[in-house]
């Protein structure tokens, strides 16, 4: 059951394969009757061009890679959709990879993707990108766009949001509400997006006391750390989770512990997932344009792929904003004082 190839079409139409190729690709003049014959045969034989063979000669695979930590995090699902839409619009396929933020797994995907001859890779890098890693990325031979801003580096492009400012907004908001004893559910220690949010947050609360707890950037991570926090620092009145999914985990733990949000403890997240408006209570959080990030990242990737090699890397930073809902309020002490 061999698939029908260009050879079959050529044989059946009594012309050379090069003629078939030209005919099907619209390049070059073809006699009208020759064309009709070829087209008819191709249709009859249900000919489908093999794009990988084509790619081998044209040097273009028309595929892109996307490496995220875990597509189950709705943040990455939104982002992936933006990425796929942009790829689709440009006639590209998107290969989805889940790194779990594990370095070796990420490395494996990276080389697998270049061996598959993708024309670009967008990646949420598993760690802070240092000089050595940047060199590695730059040496891959395909454009890479980072989803986290590589601080102080200049070989590789990025699309990111103003993580620092988002963290700052969250901190200032909670401090403004009157909180003084904070906790920071900070995600993975070495992930730059989270690190920046943490640093913004600390500046936002202007040096007030903050317990910082690291974990996976998952619901389970937030859940476990919230429990830890409850026993280690029961006097905490406000939590900033550096993504919404961790905030969801914290909500669950707080709920199970019989704590009411925001009466007993305030909670602010980061991402503004669709579902964040539907939790109990609706989550106050920092909005970032997830879909647009994904879309912009593949568009940039494609630009870079077309551009001559060694154009200067470009960095684009999207804005963020605080979305106030119901999960944060003044601390009980102050609320009482008001009465």
- Extract the tokens encoding 18: 């090069």
Query: Which residue in the set 17, 39, 127, 257 belongs to the binding site for DNA (CB under 7 A)?
Result: 17
**260 interface partner picked from a copy of itself, DNA, none, CB below 5 to 8 A per type:** none
* CA pair distance 299, 289, nearest whole angstrom: 15
Any contact of residue 89 with a copy of itself (CB under 8 A)?
no
Any contact of residue 54 with DNA (CB under 7 A)?
yes
- Extract the tokens encoding 147: 């989803």
Any contact of residue 101 with a copy of itself (CB under 8 A)?
no
Any contact of residue 46 with a copy of itself (CB under 8 A)?
yes
- CB-facing half-sphere around the CA of 240: CA atoms within 13 A: 34
**263 interface partner picked from DNA, a copy of itself, none, CB below 5 to 8 A per type:** none
Q: How far is the CB of 332 from a copy of itself (least distance, A)?
A: 22
Any contact of residue 78 with a copy of itself (CB under 8 A)?
yes
Question: How far, rounded to the nearest angstrom, does the alpha carbon of residue 194 sit from its chain's CA centroid?
Answer: 13
Give the contacts of 138 (CB within 8 A, at least 6 positions apart): 144, 155, 156
Query: Which residue in the set 44, 72, 131, 263 belongs to the binding site for a copy of itself (CB under 8 A)?
Result: 72
Any contact of residue 118 with DNA (CB under 7 A)?
no
**248 interface partner picked from a copy of itself, DNA, none, CB below 5 to 8 A per type:** a copy of itself
Query: Which residue in the set 16, 31, 36, 53 belongs to the binding site for a copy of itself (CB under 8 A)?
Result: 53
Instruction: Say if CB 157 and CB 144 are below 8 A apart.
Output: yes
Backbone angles phi, psi at 94, to 5 degrees: -120, 120
Ramachandran region, residue 73 (left: φ > 0; alpha: ψ -120 to 50; beta: rest)? beta
Binders of DNA among residues 30 to 49 (CB under 7 A) are 30-31, 33-35, 48-49
DSSP annotation of 126 reads S
**30 interface partner picked from a copy of itself, DNA, none, CB below 5 to 8 A per type:** DNA
Instruction: Say if CB 292 and CB 253 are below 8 A apart.
Output: no
Sheet holding 284-287, edge to edge: 209-214, 181-187, 238-241, 266-271, 284-287, 321-323
Binders of a copy of itself among residues 181 to 240 (CB under 8 A) are 219
**219 interface partner picked from DNA, a copy of itself, none, CB below 5 to 8 A per type:** a copy of itself
Buried b (16+ CB within 10 A) or exposed e, 206-240: eeeebbebbbbbbbebbbbbbbbbbeeeeebbbbb
* Closest CB to DNA among residues 19, 242: 19
Query: Which residue in the set 36, 40, 44, 53 belongs to the binding site for DNA (CB under 7 A)?
Result: 53
Bridge-based pairing of strands 238-241 and 181-187 is: parallel
**199 interface partner picked from a copy of itself, DNA, none, CB below 5 to 8 A per type:** none
* Closest CB to a copy of itself among residues 7, 116: 116
Query: Which residue in the set 17, 39, 45, 96 belongs to the binding site for a copy of itself (CB under 8 A)?
Result: 96
Q: Under DSSP, is residue 151 helix (H, G, I), strand (E, B) or coil?
A: coil
- Extract the tokens encoding 287: 């909005």
* CA pair distance 98, 96, nearest whole angstrom: 7
Give the footprint of DNA on this chain (CB under 7 A).
2-3, 5-7, 14-19, 21-22, 24-25, 27-31, 33-35, 48-50, 53-54, 56-59
Give the footprint of a copy of itself on this chain (CB under 8 A).
1, 3, 46, 48-53, 55-56, 61, 63, 66, 70-72, 74, 77-78, 80-81, 84-85, 88, 93-98, 111-117, 139, 141, 219, 248, 251-252, 274-275, 277-282, 309
């Amino acid at each position: 059951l061999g698939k029908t190839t260009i050879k079959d079409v050529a044989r059946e139409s009594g012309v050379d394969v090069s003629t078939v190729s030209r005919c099907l690709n619209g390049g070059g003049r073809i006699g009208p009757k020759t064309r009709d014959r070829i087209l008819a045969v191709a249709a009859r034989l249900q000919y489908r061009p093999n794009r990988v063979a084509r790619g081998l000669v044209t040097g273009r695979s028309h595929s892109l890679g996307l490496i995220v930590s875990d597509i189950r995090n709705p943040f990455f699902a939104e982002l992936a959709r933006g990425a796929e839409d942009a790829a689709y619009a440009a006639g590209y396929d998107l290969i989805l990879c889940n790194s779990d933020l594990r370095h070796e797994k990420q490395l494996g995907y990276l080389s697998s993707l270049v061996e598959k001859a993708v024309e670009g890779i967008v990646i949420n890098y598993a760690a802070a990108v240092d000089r050595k890693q940047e060199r590695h990325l730059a040496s891959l031979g395909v454009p890479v766009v980072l989803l986290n801003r590589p601080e102080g580096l200049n070989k590789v492009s990025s699309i990111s949001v103003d993580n620092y400012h988002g963290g700052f907004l969250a901190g200032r908001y909670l401090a403004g509400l009157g909180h003084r004893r904070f906790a920071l559910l900070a995600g993975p220690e070495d992930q730059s997006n989270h690190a920046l949010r943490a640093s913004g947050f600390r500046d936002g609360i202007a040096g007030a006391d903050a317990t910082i707890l690291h974990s996976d950037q998952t619901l389970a991570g937030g859940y476990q750390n919230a429990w830890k926090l409850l026993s280690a620092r029961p006097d905490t009145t406000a939590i900033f989770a550096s993504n919404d999914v961790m905030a969801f985990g914290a909500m669950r733990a707080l709920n199970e512990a019989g704590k009411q949000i925001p009466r007993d403890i305030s909670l602010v997240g980061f991402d503004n997932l669709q579902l964040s408006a539907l939790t109990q209570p609706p989550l106050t959080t920092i909005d970032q344009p997830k879909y647009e990030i994904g879309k912009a990242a593949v568009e940039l990737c494609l630009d870079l792929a077309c551009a001559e090699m060694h154009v200067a890397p470009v960095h684009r930073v999207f804005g963020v904003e605080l979305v106030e809902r119901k999960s944060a309020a003044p601390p009980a002490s102050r609320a009482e004082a008001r009465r």
